[in-house]
Amino acid sequence: MLTLLELLIGLALFYLLVAIVASYVVEFIASYLNLRAKGLERFVAQSFGEGVHIENAAWARALYQHPMIQSLFSPTALTRSEGSAPSYIPPASFSTALLDLLRAKAAQLGAGQTLQITDIQQMLASGNLPSGLAGVLQSALSKGVSEIKVVQREIETWFDANMQRASGWYKRYTQMWLFLVALVLSAAFNLDSFYLGSRLMQEPELARAFADTAQSINPGDGSKKLETLETDIRLLLANNDLRAGQIQAEGIAAPEQRRLVIRLIAANQLNRVDAATAQTLLEKSSGNPFTDFSQAFELLPKTKADTADCATASTLDFEAEKDLARDLDTWHRVLECKMAGAKGDAAKTKALEPEIEHFFKALAANPLKTIDPKLGELGWKYLFSVTPASELKPLVEYLDQRIKSVEGLRGKLSSLHAKLPKIRWICEVASEYNWTFKDFAAAVVGWLTTALLASLGAPFWFELIGRLVNLRGVGAKPALAGGKNVPK
């Protein structure tokens, strides 16, 4: 029974690792292809009743061309000819832009003219509105609303509901990507479920080693988190040398200490371009610690904030809109507007300090840009602290802990991998073992099995390992002080 349990734990560990690596790749693909933003466009068009293709949706296209929504676009990057569409639209921005669109496009009111309830009634009577949009407006009027503000709240509620559906669709969509990426990885490195399963069944010691490794990753008592394992694997895959910026708590001059922390922050970036930008920016201030965050904000590269950004600034609450806090480009432009409005007024500038500080924390701990968000947060906290010496010890302790954790995981996985000679680059395996068509066919079934099970996601396998480890622990006999087991 214990041998079977260790076999199951070993397979669960295998699928967990494949799922984490595949998710890591999917994050890059989703970011590059802007999948979340494209999904949002699709649902806006579908919500209006114009299908799922924004190219054929006149109202959805007009909404995205509105200055309020255009201000949420990310700036042009690399070879893209235009900025990226937003992956999130605040309900207040959506409703404001939509009502303005109704005023100009349907009611044909001039600039400065206010939209009225009677105008909405006339639009509905004309039948020129798309079905989805007409439905939400009709629903609002049927409740007896008599003010545009109430209609606006109804639109925001409707939009929120659609965003929840869009979020569910995106999760299903990324699960498909997870399967495809896991399948590619399985084929490339011969991640054959049946090969691993047969080895674990034939070699109980290997199954026990897998189970012990799984138990060290998740003891089943809640002491270990999936996020920690994911970060360790991200560090292994990125192969960034954190030791290049390793620091000491004592015995080093403050300027040199700051330079080491800057190198550490650069090594923690996922993107090499971001790493170079961060290092250049921070080196400008390496000899001049910031006394406030507004000074630090002024050193950031300027964006093209326009009047639409400044109009948006009054509608955004980044403390409340947790998802929007991840959209750093929009937040940056909005803060520029606020800083410009406070220029020359010390009191107004001081009032912006908490929001700017919150922005820097989000920037440092952004999981889409950093390998280890916690490490980035501690590093920025040290650099921007008025009393950096007090913030150095937590950074040193966390860095040492993280390096030990990564090296420990590397050693355990390398030891397990050394006992599985067929799990490596497929060309080498096929050549060394003289694979026939029958061997390839059998391997394909194993690859598909691995991809299918890994697509269940890392949280599923991490939780399952915890439960299986607990069952494994129930079967162990407690030892007495003399080394003998307690009889059952």
Residue 321 pLDDT class (50, 70, 90 cuts):
very low
**Interval 362-372: pLDDT, tens:** 777 777 778 88
Query: At what angle are helices 373-383 and 254-267 packed, to 10 degrees?
Result: 150
- For residue 332, pLDDT beyond 70: yes
Q: Report how far residue 261's alpha carbon sits from residue 401's, in angstroms, rounded to the nearest whole number.
A: 16
When pLDDT is averaged across residues 148-164 and rounded to a whole number, the result is 85
Q: What are phi and psi of 479, to 5 degrees?
A: -95, 145
Tell me which amino acid residue 416 is: L
Residue 325 pLDDT class (50, 70, 90 cuts):
very low
**Which range is least confidently modeled, 15-24, 85-94, 323-332, 408-417?**
323-332
User: What's the confidence (pLDDT) of residue 348?
Assistant: 87
Which residue would you say has higher pLDDT here, 238 or 320?
Answer: 238
Which residue would you say has higher pLDDT here, 452 or 322?
Answer: 452
Residue 131 pLDDT class (50, 70, 90 cuts):
confident
When pLDDT is averaged across residues 10-39 and rounded to a whole number, the result is 86
User: What's the confidence (pLDDT) of residue 78?
Assistant: 38
Which residue would you say has higher pLDDT here, 50 or 20?
Answer: 20
**Interval 30-39: pLDDT, tens:** 766 777 778 8
Which residue would you say has higher pLDDT here, 30 or 271?
Answer: 30
User: What's the confidence (pLDDT) of residue 437?
Assistant: 94
User: What's the confidence (pLDDT) of residue 235?
Assistant: 80
Which residue would you say has higher pLDDT here, 344 or 218?
Answer: 218
User: What's the confidence (pLDDT) of residue 324?
Assistant: 45
- For residue 430, pLDDT beyond 90: yes
Q: Report how far residue 54's alpha carbon sits from residue 37's, in angstroms, rounded to the nearest whole number.
A: 12
Which residue would you say has higher pLDDT here, 135 or 486?
Answer: 135
User: What's the confidence (pLDDT) of residue 372?
Assistant: 85
- For residue 195, pLDDT beyond 50: yes
User: What's the confidence (pLDDT) of residue 487?
Assistant: 44
**Which range is least confidently modeled, 54-58, 105-109, 260-264, 409-413?**
105-109
When pLDDT is averaged across residues 273-296 and rounded to a whole number, the result is 68
- For residue 200, pLDDT beyond 70: yes
pTM exceeding the 0.75 threshold for the entire prediction? no
Residue 20 pLDDT class (50, 70, 90 cuts):
very high
**Interval 440-450: pLDDT, tens:** 999 999 999 99
In order of 192, 253, 442, 447, 451, the CA distances from 429 in angstroms are 12, 52, 14, 14, 19
Q: Report how far residue 79's alpha carbon sits from residue 111's, in angstroms, rounded to the nearest whole number.
A: 37
User: Average pLDDT, whole number, for the chain?
Assistant: 80
**Which range is least confidently modeled, 85-89, 122-126, 239-243?**
239-243
49-58, 103-112, 433-442: range with highest mean pLDDT: 433-442
User: What's the confidence (pLDDT) of residue 318?
Assistant: 53
**Which range is least confidently modeled, 73-82, 320-329, 353-362, 394-403?**
73-82
User: What's the confidence (pLDDT) of residue 229?
Assistant: 92
User: What's the confidence (pLDDT) of residue 33?
Assistant: 73
Q: Report how far residue 77's alpha carbon sits from residue 301's, in angstroms, rounded to the nearest whole number.
A: 14
**Interval 132-155: pLDDT, tens:** 888 888 888 888 777 888 888 888
Residue 76 pLDDT class (50, 70, 90 cuts):
very low
